Amino acid sequence: MTGWSGPRLALGLLTIVPVGSPRTDRVSARAAVLWMPAVGLALGLAVAAALYGLRVLIGPAPIFQGVLAVTLLAVATRATHLDGLAGTVDGLGNARPAGPALEVMRRSDSGPFGVVALVLTLLLQAAALGHVVAEHRISSALVTAVVAGRLTLVWACRRGVPAARRDGLGALVAGTVPAPAAVVLSALVLTGAATAGWLDESGGWRGAVFAAGAVLAALAVAGLLLHRCVRRFGGVTGHVLGACVELGQTAALLIAAAA
């Protein structure tokens, strides 16, 4: 029995919340991955609440709120997913074999590919969030995107996806999630997102379709990245998982902004 080790480990991996020293065996890792969309829900709601409070104080201020939302997410997650994105892009951009490319990903500094990827991703996220602020749809769009980004981790850690190394986060969580569990969680997230989109201020069927589309876009983009990384590196690493979160979240925000 994992007890609360799963959710505690998920919180510790995905947020700045102090959780002590939860178990870190494969059973707890599987439970943690299955809890990650729920952690994303809590994170998205917290940031949305902060933005709502700011809006009451200073008005909509779309651009400012978009930048602030991205900043709050980075702080609340220790920017670990952004670091993963930069490392993954640097590794993919490296012309050497998988082994040396993985060592490039381990380094704390970011190369030019990683820096460009970070800048473009943050700009796209801030612009999309600014747009949905102006359209008075910030809460549902933000929460859906944050949850969708964490849902990509469930699929990235499904059985059949190997770890690229024998150590590290990738080795701990890779292949722990049964495919049926990933399908059930995805159905729950899609249903929740569609319901939130339907109930949004300018929602209805259009809002529901775009909200569900945002989740599917996140899974599709992260799936393409995952496929490329497995071919390039031989499996997943913690950096690859972080990149899946950020690119999935960005894709979901862009679809939400297009609604």
pLDDT reading at 228 higher than 70: yes
Q: How far is CA 92 from the centre of its chain?
A: 19
CA distance 145 to 211: 9
Beta-bridged to residue 236, according to DSSP, are 163
pLDDT in tens, 105-150: 988 788 899 999 999 999 999 999 999 888 777 789 999 999 999 9
Residue 158's DSSP bridge partners are 177
Distance of alpha carbon 147 from alpha carbon 72, whole angstroms: 15
pLDDT tens-place string over residues 174-212: 999 999 999 999 999 999 999 999 988 777 889 899 999
**SS (HEC) of 56-101:** HHHCCCHHHHHHHHHHHHHHHCCCHHHHHHHHHHHHHHCCCCHHHH
Q: Are 248 and 219 in contact (CB under 8 A)?
A: yes
Rounded Cα gap, residues 37 and 186, in angstroms: 9
Q: How far apart are CA 96 and CA 91, in angstroms?
A: 9
Tokens of 10: 């998920």
DSSP 121-148: HHHHHHHHHHHHHHTT-HHHHHHHHHHH
pLDDT band with cut points at 50, 70 and 90 for residue 2 = low
Q: What is the mean pLDDT of residues 23-38?
A: 95
- Residues in contact with 4: Cβ distance below 8 Å, sequence separation at least 6, in sequence order: 22
Domain range summary for the chain, segments of one domain joined by +: 5-258
Of 47-56, 63-72, 111-120, the range with the lowest mean pLDDT is: 47-56
